[in-house]
Amino acid sequence: MNQKEQTEGKTLVLCEDGSYTLYSKAFDEPYHSTKDGALHESLEKHVKPALHLKSDREKLTILDICFGLGYNAFATLYTIKKHNLSTKIHIISPEFDEALVRSLDSFAYPPEFDSIREIIKAVSRDLYYEDEQFTIEILLGDARESVPKIQSKVDIVYQDAFSPAHNPLLWTREWFAEVRALCHEDAMLTTYSTAASIRLGLYENGFKLFIHRAEMMRFSTVASLQMLEGFEYIDMELKKQRNPTARALLDADYVPA
């Protein structure tokens, strides 16, 4: 397979970890960091810290923003199965690109996902999967419309939308207020973004911020509604004093009055 080839109107890209992602022409950026790698990024920035911090739970509800190629969801199931964990997982994920999800049964996933191929096929076909341990539920449409309608409370949020530069309405203070409203009081959030504006949006909605470091990975952000041990705490009040012009992104910056 060539490093890049055209598929479904998007460009297939080989990442440095050997896994593939797609380049979105609509958002003018790849679905994953090609340097960190699609699989490696999902595991190290989202799945591993989340499952580590919630290892005592029998059941976890995860809000995955947004589904895209499904790496975060599938890497979660892969990790659970790899370690023979009994944790029940319910993943709820908004996604506007139905055609993309429908095409995933033929996507060039890494061999790590071979054991969940039937799950991937079911999600691609039905936009839903359920067995005794796993549930994956795709919410088609605009996340700003679908997420506030979710009835379940969530334990984990994978905040993994396209970047604030290209998809700002999924990174504003108002967006994080919608996310916060769905969270249990001990919920946590993972995101690749380390921008001050994004951290402020989370902080102003009651999240405490931490630096997450992983091997062979650029550092990222973990946010939690409770204090966490084992992570480097970010003093946002001190950050604000040192950078008084910094502010959270707001809906009003992008939506005409």
Instruction: Answer whether residue 21 is part of any domain.
Output: no
Instruction: Answer whether residue 2 is part of any domain.
Output: no
**Number of structural domains the chain divides into:** 1
Instruction: Answer whether residue 15 is part of any domain.
Output: no
Instruction: Answer whether residue 40 is part of any domain.
Output: yes
Strands 29-30 and 232-234: unpaired
**136 CB contacts (<8 Å, ≥6 apart)?**
73, 91, 93, 119, 123, 128, 129, 130
What pTM did the predictor assign? 0.94
- Give residue 8's pLDDT: 52
89: CATH = 3.40.50.150
pLDDT interval class at 9 (50, 70, 90): low
Instruction: Answer whether residue 144 is part of any domain.
Output: yes
Instruction: Answer whether residue 246 is part of any domain.
Output: yes
- Give residue 18's pLDDT: 94
Instruction: Answer whether residue 7 is part of any domain.
Output: no
pLDDT digits 0-9 by tens, 15-64 = 999 999 999 988 889 899 898 899 999 999 999 999 999 999 999 999 99
pLDDT digits 0-9 by tens, 137-171 = 999 999 999 999 999 999 999 999 999 999 999 99
Domain containing residue 137: 36-253
Instruction: Answer whether residue 27 is part of any domain.
Output: no
